[in-house]
Amino acid sequence: MDGSCCGPGYASPSEAVKAPQEKLLYSIAIYTGTGIQKPDYLATIDVDPQSSNYSKVIHRLEMPGIGDELHHMGWNACSSCHGDEKMSRKYLLVPGVRSNNIYVVDTASNPIAPCLHKIVDGAEIKTKTNLSGPHTVHCLGTEIIISFLGDAKGEAPGGYLHLNKDFEIVGRWENSMGDIPFSYDFWYQPRHNVMVSSEWAAPNTFMPGFDLEEVGHLKYGRRLHIWDFEKKKPIETMYLGEDGLIPLEVKFMHDPNSSHGFCGAALSANVIHFWKSSQDKWEWEKIIDVDNEPHPDWPIPIPGVMSALLVSMDDKYLYINNWLHGDMRQYNISDPHNPVLTGQVWMGGLLGKAPIVNGVKVTGGPQMYQLSLDGKRMYVTTSLFSTWDNQFYPEIRTKGGVMFMIDCDVENGGMQINKDFVVDFGKEPNGPSRCHESRYPGGDCTSDIWL
Amino acid sequence: MNKITIANRNNTIFEVKGTKPLLLELRSQGLDLPYGCQYGGCITCAAKLIHGEVDQRSQVALNNRQINDGYVVLCVARAKTDCTFEIGVESHDKLYRNPFIDPLSPHELKSNIAILKDKINESP
Ligand code: FES
């Protein structure tokens, strides 16, 4: 129940900002690739400061088998069907990157203890649509689309799975992949009839881990793609080159009239800003460039690895992470061409600036984050992807992941790690697990799109 | 039939026919093994081959360095002879490396992009 009117979500971003404070959050946690022979799970975390269980995992929904590598997730419905009283934000779709299964989790019947509603079988997805390596889930009114990074054999470019509201496979969503070489994340802005997609790599390239040489062999992405959203086909490519090596997360502003959006190029550690010019041309520019940092043990300076990016619901702040450096940053983007750094905090990372935070030794760095609708509380986790964690932060095997909360000053800018909140996934009952993406039952800053 | 010895499970021995991938054969006999994609693309199921020979031609996850270090992805590998393995993360000491600190030589890349040593030495 997160809306005032009829359907799910909120009438507008400014309504969403006024939503009640979140009390629960769902975060996936993995055992895949950790050496612990247990299923990955969806953790419910109590984030109600009045509760005696505040800052604790209060429920764990285990998946039916091992080896999924849960990663990102998305809702069955968002503000894009706010006017549809037959819809509600009830189901969380949780894909397994390695198993190809999509778990549909009912979070409404008992929000504290979600239960498995349906499994869209990974083998069936392969047979019917020739897709594997699921990633981003978005709903489109009553329909759902999920980006996949590979074909059934794990080769690029993958494509998009289309599910109906009962989670049945309709088929491929897109009419054409054009000459897109790779897939990853996507976001759409219907009033401009546009979707933008980014590029990681083929599942067979990124799943086993990161070989730097494969970037030079063009096995990793460096482009953004502009789609004709209604025609479901790509119409234009933005070649980012060295400025945009491994462009991962893509977000538009929440204001449905805005054509401005952002992408974090992970390996270049740059933020790319894109927008539609007054001549109706799509343009892009690099607006943030995080310098590589020297390290005594490294032959070359360490790149930030900007693996995620998030825009606050009021479109005032952009948040980025540098997973290998260990910092989270807040930029004021009131002028999206000229972002202003307004906040920065450190947790973990390889530069040794904050090895211990709130009493927990951090292995990994800030990696995935979710922001409350009012923009004041950001929940941050530290694991990227099992094989990549194992390469850069091998101690994560015994230490597990950790979740922190950052208090964000929405008036004057600024970030501070909250001293009272820490969820140490190193202490989970089945052994150290690794937490990744989080969602709130009432909607959040990476779920809702307005038509 | 081939004998599969698991060195780091008290040298437990399993007999396999070699007609199915080792992951399937060994799990069906009760050995708890990690896995993910089950088609040879993700290395979750990697084990280290100490002795013996396997056919893992259909794997696409391992680079040549990992193969030279003895790694086998059990979800597609079939035993050609008696084999001894170390399994699980205890066997992964050389599987993961920091790619910046310890880069691969051209011949150590995945086989579809590797440049073999004699090719490099050939003058153009
Ligand atoms: S399970 Fe993925 S390579 Fe074997």
The token duo for A56 is 């604790």
A154/B contact by beta carbon, under 8 A: yes
B 11-30 near A (Cβ less than 8 A): none
Tell me: pLDDT of B118 over 90: no
Instruction: Please tell me if residue B88 touches chain A, with a CB cutoff of 8 Å.
Output: yes
Cα-Cα-Cα-Cα dihedral of A216, A218, A223, A226, to 10°? 180
**Spatial contact of A261 and A250, defined as CB atoms under 8 Å apart:** yes
Chain A hits for B104, CB-CB cut-off 8 Å, are: 211-213
B6 lines ligand 1 (CB under 6 A): no
**CA B43 – CA B34 distance, rounded (Å):** 10
Q: Does B86 touch chain A (CB under 8 A)?
A: no
Partner residue opposite A32 with nearest CB, options B44, B109, B110:
B44
User: Could you confirm whether domain B2-96 is CATH 3.10.20.30?
Assistant: yes
ipTM of the complex, rounded to two decimals: 0.93
Query: Distance between CA A28 and CA B50 in Å, rounded?
Result: 36
Element (H, E) at B22: helix B22-28
Residues A98, B62: C-beta atoms closer than 8 Å: no
Under 8 Å between Cβ of B47 and B86: yes
CB A135 within 8 A of CB A146: yes
Ligand 1 atom nearest to CA at A98: 2
Check whether B43 has a pLDDT greater than 90.
yes
- Tell me which chain B residues have a C-beta less than 8 angstroms from the C-beta of A212: 99-100, 103-104
What pLDDT shows up at residue A2?
A: 46
Report pLDDT for A97: 98
| pLDDT recorded at residue B119 | 59
3-class SS of residue B2: strand
Write out pLDDT tens, residues A203-235.
999 999 999 999 999 999 999 999 999 999 999
**Domains of chain A, CATH where assigned:** 13-439 (2.130.10.10)
- The pLDDT value given to residue B94: 96
B36 touches ligand 1 (CB under 6 Å): yes
What is the structure's pLDDT at B117? Answer: 66
Nearest to A275 by CA among A378, A184, A203, A192: A192
A99's CB contacts (< 8 A; 6+ apart) are A65, A67, A68, A69, A122, B36, B37
pLDDT band at A142 (very low <50, low <70, confident <90, very high): confident
Contact B114, B108 (CB under 8 A): yes
Residue (of A259, A353, A358, A251) closest to A311 by Cα position: A251
DSSP string, B46-81: EEEEEES-EE-TT--S-BHHHHHTTEEETTT-EESS
Predicted pLDDT of residue B123: 44
A393 Cα to chain B: minimum distance (Å): 9
Strands A194-197 and A223-228 turn out to be: antiparallel
User: What contacts A314, CB < 8 A, 6 or more positions away?
Assistant: A13, A14, A17, A254, A375, A410
Distance of alpha carbon A257 from alpha carbon A198, whole angstroms: 21
Can you give the residue ranges of every domain in chain B?
A: 2-96
- Find the helix or strand (DSSP H, E) in which B121 lies: helix B117-121
Q: Give the span between the Cα atoms of B21 and A18, in whole angstroms.
A: 56
Of A145, A136, A134, residue with least CA distance to A167: A145
pLDDT, residue B120, reads 54
Amino acid at A165: K
Residue A65 CB coordination number (10 Å): 13
Task: Tell me what pLDDT residue A443 has.
Answer: 86
Amino acid at A437: E
Sign of CA dihedral A116, A117, A120, A123: positive
Q: How many CA atoms lie within 13 A of A212 on its CB side?
A: 17
Kind and range of the H or E run holding B85: strand B83-86
Rounded percentage of chain A residues whose pLDDT exceeds 90 = 94
- Pull the structure tokens for residue A264: 């974090």
Q: What one-letter code names the amino acid at B76?
A: V
User: What would the pLDDT profile of A149-200 be if each residue is shown by its tens digit?
Assistant: 999 999 999 999 999 999 999 999 999 999 999 999 999 999 999 999 999 9
The Cα-based distances of A79 to A94, A145, A254, A372 in angstroms read 19, 15, 11, 15
pLDDT at A3 (0 to 100): 45
Confidence check: pLDDT of B124 > 50: no
Name the CA dihedral angle for A225, A226, A232, A234, rounded to a multiple of 10 degrees: -60
Average pLDDT in chain A: 96
Residue B42 CA to ligand 1 center (angstroms) comes to: 5
Q: Which residue of B43, B91, B100 to mutate against A (max A Cβ within 10 Å)?
A: B100
Residue B60 has phi, psi (to 5 degrees) of: -130, 10
Taking an 8 Å cut-off on Cβ atoms, the answer to whether B34 and A33 are in contact is yes
Amino acid A336: pLDDT:
98
pTM of the model: 0.96
pLDDT at A396: 96
- C-beta separation of B63 from A204 below 8 A: no
Q: Which helix (H) or strand (E) holds B40?
A: none
Residue (of B13, B3, B19) closest to B78 by Cα position: B19
A33 Rama sector, left if φ>0, alpha if ψ -120 to 50, beta otherwise: left
Q: Which two tokens stand for residue A141?
A: 């009114």
| CA distance to A175, A247, A265, per residue, from A160 (Å) | 10, 18, 22
CA A247 to chain B, closest CA, distance in angstroms equals: 19
Spell A339-353 as b/e; 16+ CB within 10 A means b.
Answer: beebbebbbbbbbee
Q: How confident is the model at residue A381 (pLDDT cuts 50, 70, 90)?
A: very high
